Structures are given as structure tokens and as C-alpha cells.
Amino acid sequence: MPIVAHNPLPTFAHLRAAGHQILDPERALHQDIRELHIGLLNMMPDAALEATERQFFRLIGQSNQIAQFYVHPFTLDALPRREAAREHIRRYYQPFSRIRADGLDALIITGANVTGPDLAGEPFWEPLIEVVDWAWANVSSTLCSCLATHAVLQFRHGQRRRPLGEKRWGVFPHRVVDRSHPLVGTVNTLFDVPHSRFNEIGRDQFDAAGLPVLVESPEAGVHLAVSADGFRQVFFQGHPEYDTISLLKEYKREVKRYEAGERPDYPPFPEGYFTLQSRAILDEHAARLRTALAQGRKAPPLPEEHIVFRLDNTWHDTAEGVMGNWMGLIYQVTHSDRKLPFMDQIDPADPLGLRRRRPAF
């Protein structure tokens, strides 16, 4: 079933206009279907705040047909915001105190932009730990995206992310390495995932922390891993929620930074993303831009109209499948009143009965 538009958040209107099924709350009340309440801790910077909402809302809404999804966005007061973003949050987000009081079936934590090498020095560090610790005790499962994965690996498992030296940026092929897990048992065994990061947690670090790896890539490293019990925490390092044009927008932003003198080198292409023809067009643009800057003329605009229609999305279907499997597992282990069954009905060390499952081939 679709996401329920339970408040006036503009993301609902954007998704409806794009053809996605969004359910009116009055109609939702008259359907005898289980609700799932999903929290979205959105830590992304102002420029990506609403886009990140739409990406995760869409992925959730398209993932599964067994429930009505109520998605509750919130953020951390410690994150610096400009006035427009603060107003958006004030109007449409809930405070964590309300989230904590009402409860959730599951939680998604996005990535964030950081300025220093040590995550423990970031202003969001202590508030994020509070949310993650609360979710561990009170929410059936938490999905950590990118930097959120790095933060949890550091404060819960003592594994600090490592700098890559240069940005890992592009769309990379990945392989399922443990098909017995229900998160990946029904998806393609080989699929693409976008990445965009300067740091990583390596396979050896996941192994040292006792966190089973489900999906990895020779070029991009680990993408998907889970907590030792197989479910309570799910870790992404890639960005399966990305839109088709997300990396193009990042590339455009880096070109603008070069144009403004904020980076000394012209940005490289994201790997595995642009076609050969698109690369030729963008190389020509780079030459024109350098000439314009050298002559003191206005820089030409990036020729996006000649690039967009050549972009392919080779990751969304599998991302939808993994998200749908996650939602299905959440549905199985939660009650309609959102009280966790772990304590008295399910082995907390094996909530999904993974040790009793036969491999899914």
C-alpha cells in the first residue's frame, strides 16, 4: 500500500505529481490494513534536505504492498541550519521527544556532511548516539545510511572510518555474498549501487565487529551489512535511494566549485555513470569553461539537457526489493500497537530465526 499523507509536508505533493500513489489520511482510516510507522532522521545539509526526504519516501512507498506507511521525518537540533531549512523543519518535522513518546516500528538514519576527520567532534555526535541507543532498545530495526553507518561503527563497535585519499564516486557493480539472509534472498545476485564518499569502513572492520556482510563490491567495498542478530541494525555504505540525476547534480555542484575557485582541479567524472557521448560533451564544456575563465568571460552553463536523457538507472529496482524485504521483516516482528515482541516471544539474539532458516536459492 502507499505512503499516507498524514501532514502537509510538500514531499507528498511532489511524489503525487510524479505519479506515485499517495493515500489521503481520511481514506486510510477506512481501510482495514496494518500501519507501519517509519522514522526518518534526516541529517542531510540544507541543500539536500527535501531531496533526501523525497528519495527515501519514494523508496519506502514503492517497496511493499502489505501495509500503509506513515513516515515521520525529524532531525537533530545540533545540526547548523539556515533560516529556510529551519522553517521547513519547524512546519513539517516532529521533535525527537514526540517521536520517542509515540514510538516507531522502524527507523532510517541518513548521512550528513562533516567538516573534520573525527566524527566524535561533530556537533551531532552526542544527539545521534542518544537516538541510536533509544532505537536499539525500542525500535524493531534501524537502517543506517552512509555516514550514519560510520558513526554507529565508531561508537558502538570501536571501528573508525578510513580516508580513501580521493572521493569514491559513481555507480559500481555489487554482488550478494550471503543469499541466505531474507534481506537479499529475493533480489538480483549482481546489481549496481551509487556511492559518494571520501571515507569507508572496510570488510575487515565489519568482520572484526562481528557484523555479517551481505553485499559488497571489488571496487566500492562493502555496501550492505547487518548487526550480529541479522536485523536490529542494517548498514548501507552506498546510496541506493539516489535519483537517476543525483550524481549529475553532484557533478554540477563540483564544476561550480571549480568555477568559483573553491577547488583547484576540474572534477573527474563519476565512475560508471556517464556514457561515452556524454563524457565527450562534458569534456567540451570543460574546455569552454576554462577558456572563459582565462579570458574573464562569463562561464557557460553545464549542458544538462544533452546529458539527462542518456542517464540510466541500474540500481532502483534492487533497492526497492531490499527495502521491501526489510519492510516485510518489520511487519513480521512488530504488533499493531508497536510493542516489540523480542523480550517474550522472539530470541533477541536471532529475531528472524535466521539460524533455523534454510538458504534461499
> Do residues 265 and 347 share a domain?
no
Among residues 6, 144, 146, 200, the one annotated as catalytic is: 146
Q: Domain count of the chain? A: 2
The alpha carbons of the chain give a radius of gyration, in whole angstroms, of 21
Contacts of residue 68, Cβ cutoff 8 Å, sequence gap at least 6: 1, 2, 3, 4, 23, 28, 31, 33, 34, 35, 36
> Do residues 81 and 224 share a domain?
yes
Give me the pLDDT at residue 269, please. Answer: 98
- Annotation says 241 is catalytic: yes
Give me the pLDDT at residue 19, please. Answer: 57
Determine whether 70 is exposed, middle or buried from the number of CB atoms within 10 Å of its CB (0-12, 13-18, 19+). Answer: buried
Domain of 225, CATH number, reads 3.40.50.880
Give me the pLDDT at residue 281, please. Answer: 98
Q: Say if residues 43 and 112 touch (Cβ distance below 8 Å).
A: yes
Contacts of residue 66, Cβ cutoff 8 Å, sequence gap at least 6: 1, 34, 327, 328, 331
Torsion angles phi and psi, residue 17, rounded to 5: -65, -25
> Do residues 338 and 289 share a domain?
no
> Do residues 179 and 264 share a domain?
no
Q: How far apart are alpha carbons 291 and 139 in whole angstroms?
A: 56
Q: Say if residues 315 and 191 touch (Cβ distance below 8 Å).
A: yes
292: its cell numbers? 572563459
> Do residues 35 and 53 share a domain?
yes
Question: What 3-state DSSP class applies to 35?
Answer: strand
Q: Say if residues 269 and 250 touch (Cβ distance below 8 Å).
A: no
Closest residue by Cα to residue 47 from 293, 257, 199 = 257
Q: How far apart are alpha carbons 293 and 298 in whole angstroms?
A: 7
> Do residues 301 and 163 share a domain?
no
Question: What 3-state DSSP class applies to 293?
Answer: helix
Question: What 3-state DSSP class applies to 61?
Answer: helix
Give me the pLDDT at residue 347, please. Answer: 57
Give a yes or no: residue 100 inside a domain. yes
Q: Which domain holds residue 110?
A: 3-243+313-356
Give a yes or no: residue 30 inside a domain. yes
Give me the pLDDT at residue 177, please. Answer: 97
Give me the pLDDT at residue 134, please. Answer: 97
Q: How far is the CA of 262 from the CAs of 43, 47, 99, 253, in angstroms?
A: 24, 18, 39, 11
Give a yes or no: residue 98 inside a domain. yes
> Do residues 211 and 255 share a domain?
no
Confidence (pTM): 0.85
- Annotation says 239 is catalytic: yes
> Do residues 261 and 332 share a domain?
no
Give me the pLDDT at residue 359, please. Answer: 34
Q: Could you read off the pLDDT tens digit of each residue along the chain, which spans 361 residues?
A: 456 666 777 876 776 776 555 656 665 454 446 788 999 999 999 999 999 999 999 888 887 666 788 999 999 999 999 999 999 999 999 999 999 999 999 999 999 988 777 899 999 999 999 999 999 999 999 999 999 999 999 999 999 999 999 999 999 999 999 999 999 999 999 999 999 999 999 999 999 999 999 999 999 999 999 999 999 999 999 999 999 999 999 999 999 999 999 999 999 999 999 999 999 999 999 999 999 999 999 999 999 999 999 999 999 999 999 999 998 888 878 765 544 444 344 455 665 555 444 333 2
Q: How far apart are alpha carbons 154 and 201 in whole angstroms?
A: 10
Q: How far apart are alpha carbons 64 and 62 in whole angstroms?
A: 6
Give me the pLDDT at residue 150, please. Answer: 97
Among residues 6, 239, 285, 316, the one annotated as catalytic is: 239
Among residues 241, 250, 254, 320, the one annotated as catalytic is: 241
283: its cell numbers? 569534456
Identity of the amino acid at 246 = S
